Amino acid sequence: MANYHKDYAFLMDNHYSKQAEIAAEAIGRLDFPRNLPKFTYVDIGSHVGKLTGLVLDILAQYYPPIDVHCVEPDSETFQELQANIRQKEVIFYNANFQHWLRSPGQSLSGRVDILVNSHTFYHYPEYSWPEIIQESDKLLTPHGKHVVIIDSAGSSLNEIKPVLDSKIPNKRHDAFGRFLKGSDLEMYFGSAGINYTREELPSPIHFNDNEEALDGVCHMLGFVMRYNPDDVKKYAAKDVQDFMAQYKKGGMIVFPRNQDFFVLPKQ
């Protein structure tokens, strides 16, 4: 069985991806009133705190003092998160978002300036999206924003998805929900009458073009598209190699990839 947390750490660390830095910069560009007596930042699915730490550094330039609430359900990851984010004004919750919203989260009703759901939505079953979005909205201040970040449909990685779908017999390993793209969320926001803005954040993924690249790319595709990484290599190695060949550039393989950055203002 795949280990979701190790696979995600692999995606963030084992090759050159500035996904978190790019997302944090986009959060830093959002407009909030200055001179607030206090700023409240809620981070859902914090993992080991890479994005959280970057966002905190950026927000601290404009909006001190900041109260931070981090929600992370995986116990092992939660311990790493606590060790990594050491500011004393952080409150940590070892809970999933749905549970957190029903009890501890309610105490923040009307007080949250920014609620961040970065690369988390595929963990929430679709039937729970209306409740999640409504309950999140209740937490926001009048100028508050719910930020949702997810892989975009406009990424090169999606080009190989149909090939993998046709060749790999076990479509998903079911460890962490379905492969979800920004366009799926956009359809839902449209149908539910939810106000949002969307920005595409170019966030390429780089691999060194060496002997280990095939394993690395299979692992990355497996993680992002919900296959066992071994199956990607077993059933589609030649297709992955052809795909890699299209994106070779000066000793590197650079896959153009985008994150969709949605901002849901107070509805």
Ligand X SMILES: C[S@@+](CC[C@H](N)C(=O)[O-])C[C@H]1O[C@@H](n2cnc3c(N)ncnc32)[C@H](O)[C@@H]1O
Q: Which residues within the stretch 82-121 sit at the binding site for ligand X (CB under 6 A)? A: 96-98, 118-120
Beta strands 248-249 and 39-44: pairing type? unpaired
- Pick from 123, 145, 181, 219 the residue near ligand X by CB under 6 A: 123
Region at 68 (left for phi over 0; alpha for psi -120 to 50; beta for the rest): beta
Query: Of 203 and 235, which CB lies nearer to ligand X in the complex structure?
Result: 203
CA distance 156 to 221: 11
Handedness of CA 171, 177, 181, 183 (dihedral sign): positive
CB of 255 to ligand X, least distance (A): 18
How many residues lie near ligand X (CB under 6 A)? Answer: 21
CA distance 90 to 74: 18
Residue whose structure tokens are 């978190």 = 20
Query: Of 54 and 232, which CB lies nearer to ligand X in the complex structure?
Result: 54
45 binds ligand X (CB under 6 A): yes
Query: Of 6 and 248, which CB lies nearer to ligand X in the complex structure?
Result: 6
Contact window for ligand X (CB under 6 A) among 72-80, 103-111, 179-187, 196-204 = 72-80
For 14, what's the count of Cα atoms within 13 Å in the CB-facing half-sphere?
Answer: 15
CB of 213 to ligand X, least distance (A): 23
Q: What is the binding site for ligand X (CB under 6 A)?
A: 8, 20, 44-47, 50-51, 71-74, 77, 96-98, 118-120, 123-124
